[in-house]
Structure 1
Amino acid sequence: MAGRIRVGIGGWTYESWRGLFYPDGLAKTKELAYAAARLTAIEINSTYYSTQKPESWRKWADATPDGFMFSVKASRFCTNRRVLADAGDSIAKFMGQGLDQLGDKLGPILWQFMATKAFDKGDFAAFLGLLPAKLGDRPLRHAVEVRHPSFVDPAFVDLARDHGVAIVFADHAEYPAIPDHTADFTYARLQQSREDEPTGYSPAELDQWAALAGNWVAAGDAFIFFISGGKARNPAAAEALIARVS
């Protein structure tokens, strides 16, 4: 089942992007529209820290072209807890804040866990069971980013596959890179871009990511985000990868 490759960045507001990615003098209110015209996805990160108003979600949808997609990072109150099985109320609050206003521009929900959170099979299974299959009539896709080495475990992979949840492929110096395909889409966060490289990753490295994206998309949609690292270069990295996979 071939899919579509979408490539983007985390957020769209970063001072160092002004004059480097965004033209000098571009109004901050126009930044999202400018970025969305050049990229094919953006990961919304502000939702990890705070709840957004429904009108904000509508405004973001209206500022982006047809075919564009957002992924949304779930609230830390859902994932940064000792007992994940108790996250039901927090998940419901997060899902009810207005995500539906994105319409068909709503992509995967990213559930990110702290590096200190170790794998507990029973508790993690309970958490995955709390993730809603739909928002209204719209089917949802979920991805989990785990950062503790204990998750390098076949039992974790089996759990994710049983629930149809994607395991984030993380390009990071310290976090595990788990390559198993467990859902009908792939979610990758590339976190080792460099400030001294104009495109964040070298041309040879971007060629390798493009080849890997070609493998991923053979099994469904692929979402690839350039996050942190040499953050000032991430838009250039995304544009360079888009040029390779178009």
Structure 2
Amino acid sequence: MTHASIRVGIGGWTYEPWRGTFFPEGLVHKRELEFASRAMTAIEVNGTYYSRQKPATFASWAKTAPDGFVFALKASRFCTNRKVLAEAGESIGKFVGQGITELGDKLGPILWQFMATKTFDADDFGAFLKLLPEKQDGVALRHAVHVRHESFAVPEFAALARAAGVAIVFADSADYPALADVTGDFVYARLENAQEAVATGYTDAELDRWTQVARDWAAGGAPEGLPYADPAKPAKRARDTFIFFINGAKVRAPAGAMAMIARLK
């Protein structure tokens, strides 16, 4: 079986409460990415959801981060926050064409996150998936869709994503239903249920469990005890796995991510 990586990280790197808790006291702000990208193995970038970036910005991020590190990019809200997803083609083209390939081999998956009120429409969502490009500037793109409405918990949705080769995001959330169906050639998970009273956000037992789940995903499995829309099991093959500690008690996210990274070593 081909070796698969497990990368673990946080959402962004600019967050004031991390200064003095995650970032050392006195670290200049312009060096926060340098620090974060050496403590983590991946970062999910939220800023790309709100606004376009310049190609030079992506190039700068790539230069700052070490070899082997990757950035997952949250796609523009103009692509996903719309009544008719089938009409998103122009916005998708603008997003992938803004210079993201300047990240080179540090370009991770693109996260397409939908409003919690967005319901499943098989024809419209299927049309949207067909708009997602396989490549940009000759660089292969990987896509993950994060849906947050219970209407997506049906085999038809899993089948659409599997046919498109797109990953369904698994989110451990107190607010939204979770889907653990493995539908792409990688796995994308968000651990959103951290508790501020716990130093690492998740307890040691919870971290042990999620670390084993990550190993199972990377080995090609479909871990037991998680919710699935489709009882069909994925093909058994190694899959790169991305785990992000994000939302929840955000101040605890770096500690949780570093605790999982330590467990994986």
TM-score computed with the length of structure 2 as normaliser: 0.92
Q: Residue in 2 aligned with 1:231?
A: 250
Q: Residue in 1 aligned with 2:188?
A: 187
Q: Which runs of 4+ in 1 moved over 3 A?
A: none
Q: Residue in 2 aligned with 1:198?
A: 199
**CA distance, structure 1, for counterparts of residue 175 and residue 61 of structure 2:** 33
AA of the residue aligned to 1:237: G
**CA distance, structure 1, for counterparts of residue 129 and residue 74 of structure 2:** 16
Deviation by residue 1:188-238 (Cα, 9 ceiling, x = unmatched): 001011111111100110000001001000121000001110000100000
Q: Residue in 1 aligned with 2:135?
A: 134
Deviation by residue 1:96-150 (Cα, 9 ceiling, x = unmatched): 1110110000010000000000000000000000000011221111000000100
SS at match of 1:161: helix
Deviation by residue 1:23-45 (Cα, 9 ceiling, x = unmatched): 01000000001001111000010
Q: Residue in 1 aligned with 2:264?
A: 245
SS at match of 1:188: strand
**CA distance, structure 2, for counterparts of residue 238 and residue 50 of structure 1:** 26
AA of the residue aligned to 1:72: L
SS at match of 2:7: strand
**CA distance, structure 2, for counterparts of residue 185 and residue 205 of structure 1:** 22
Q: Which runs of 5+ in 2 are unaligned?
A: 221-238
SS at match of 2:214: helix
Is 2:104 the partner of 1:103?
Answer: yes
Q: Residue in 2 aligned with 1:46?
A: 47
Deviation by residue 1:30-61 (Cα, 9 ceiling, x = unmatched): 00010011110000100000001111111111
- Count of matched residue positions in the alignment of Structure 1 and Structure 2: 246
Q: Residue in 2 aligned with 1:143?
A: 144
**CA distance, structure 1, for counterparts of residue 205 and residue 218 of structure 2:** 20
Q: Residue in 2 aligned with 1:85?
A: 86
Q: Residue in 2 aligned with 1:63?
A: 64
CA RMSD of aligned residues (A): 0.7
Deviation by residue 1:4-23 (Cα, 9 ceiling, x = unmatched): 00000000000000000000
TM-score computed with the length of structure 1 as normaliser: 0.99
**Overall identity of the aligned pairs, in %:** 61
**CA distance, structure 2, for counterparts of residue 61 and residue 211 of structure 1:** 30
AA of the residue aligned to 2:264: V
Q: Give 1:2 shift.
A: 3.8
AA of the residue aligned to 1:241: M
Q: Residue in 2 aligned with 1:162?
A: 163
Q: Give 1:179 shift.
A: 1.1
**CA distance, structure 1, for counterparts of residue 154 and residue 12 of structure 2:** 31
AA of the residue aligned to 1:212: V
Deviation by residue 1:157-197 (Cα, 9 ceiling, x = unmatched): 00000000000000001212111110110000010111111
